[in-house]
Homo-oligomer: A and B are copies of this chain.
Amino acid sequence: VGVAGDGAEGGGLFDGVLARGEVRAAVSDRAWLQAMLDVEAGLARACAAVGLVPAEQAEAVGAACRAELYDVAAIGVEAAASGNPVVPLVAALRRAVGEPAGSSAHLGATSQDVLDTAAVLIARRALGPLLADLRAAADAAAALAQAHRDTLMVGRTLLQPALPITFGLKAAGWMAGLDAAIARLVAVRDTGLAVQYGGAAGTLAALGGNGPAVLAALAADLDLPVPALPWHTDRTRIGELAGALGVAAGAAGKVARDVILLAQAEVGEVSDGGGDRGGSSTLPHKRNPVAAISALAAAMAAPGLVSTLLTAMVGEHERAAGAWHAEWRPLTDLLRTTGSAAAWLRDCLAHLRVHPDAMRSTVDAIGPDLVAERLAGALAPTLGKAEANAAVRRAAQAGSYAELAATIGAAELAALLDPAGYLGSAGEFVDRALHAHRLSVKESG
């Protein structure tokens, strides 16, 4: 009934803006609870597979591993006594299962095993929609790069006009950043997100010599890689995930910022195409690029969260006294905010309205100055580099390049002044980048 919050099914007050997409649900408190239960169910089955537990007891445990059977808030409250929610969850699970099967739950495990492996499941599940959104955004950028391979616009460095480029080249740069972020996230997902299971101190002592067998069976059950040894003390997997998400957020934020700047009224080279979004009842001329703004807002949250997760890598001995607990929320928040950036960016790019005429107008408004470098280059063989630069500078100050015709002829001057003729390898770069994109889609698909 509208009671809300991040973790709630219903969504929170800021979630429409800051937690767009399916990642929000994938990292909700209920999703965390289910992930923990999935670990318990998988562990019971793994123990059965190895013969430590009767199959029917494992089945009974598995049947009780449905989040809707438990009260998130109550488990949250009870967690305070032990310092983590696994302790009350296991107690509740055992009560739900009853004896003797209840005793077959959580075999050999410590709370951290369940939480760490649940974190891995949460990350993998969140990466599904997150990667889908990033890929769709990259594909949209690719489509823009293709469609506008030769659409002339001004290139801007330090927010000042520099040289002519194409909008295709700009979009190809966006795509390349997104592709790199995707490739890295896929690699982290496929190789870094291993099962974590070591018991109270990483030896799996409670299983006698059966530890590695159960570990392997659990990994197989959950379809996760098997680590060489329990990684409870080694947080590089969390750190690498954090870094990859931070890079993805940065790549998305870059695109969003460019879109926002191009959508300025004074520039007007793109506009948000998402229906009526971004209008204002009292300011009818207002057309805010809401998707790009929201993507950027979400991306801005990432670096601080990454730094928290990297700081938390430095834990004490076999389980950190604080640093471990300090991972739970930043990891959740980082997945969600990166997911929101990806979802908004997908929306933004899929609906982006590109205005080639406005791009051309900007180019024309700057005029011949935009190709001054080219003119200087053409004059240099005749005048020498220094004098060529000086001649062009004089012409720029005078506001007319006509005098240069004396040196290079009127026809060549006219040709040189065409900015569309000074695009260098822009087209070729776009083609190369699109080729790389297609390869990347194949590989990371």
Contacts and interface: CB of A to CB of B under 8 A. Distances in A.
A307 interface: yes
Given A12-B6, A12-B72, A253 B313 contact: yes
Contact of A7 (B6, B80, B278, B294): B6
Interface string A161-201: 11111000110111011001100100000000000000111
Interface stretch (A54-62, A404-412, A431-439): A431-439
A281 to B, nearest CB: 6
B297 A161 contact: no
Given A208-B424, A243-B244, A295-B322, 5 more contacts: A160-B289, A173-B232, A177-B236, A180-B234, A243-B243
Given A159-B260, A207-B424, A315-B254, A181 B236 contact: yes
B250 A313 contact: yes
B236 A247 contact: yes
Contacts of A5: 4-8, 12, 28-29
A206 B236 CA distance: 45
A287 interface: yes
B254 A247 contact: no
Identical copies of this chain, number: 4
B29 A433 contact: no
Interface in A233-271: 233-237, 239-240, 242-244, 246-247, 249-251, 253-254, 256-258, 260-261, 263-267
Interface stretch (A38-46, A349-357, A368-376): A368-376
Nearest to A242: B243
The 9 closest A-B pairs by CB, nearest first: A243-B243, A5-B5, A250-B313, A155-B201, A5-B7, A205-B424, A296-B322, A285-B369, A10-B73
Interface string A59-99: 00000000000111111111111111100000000000001
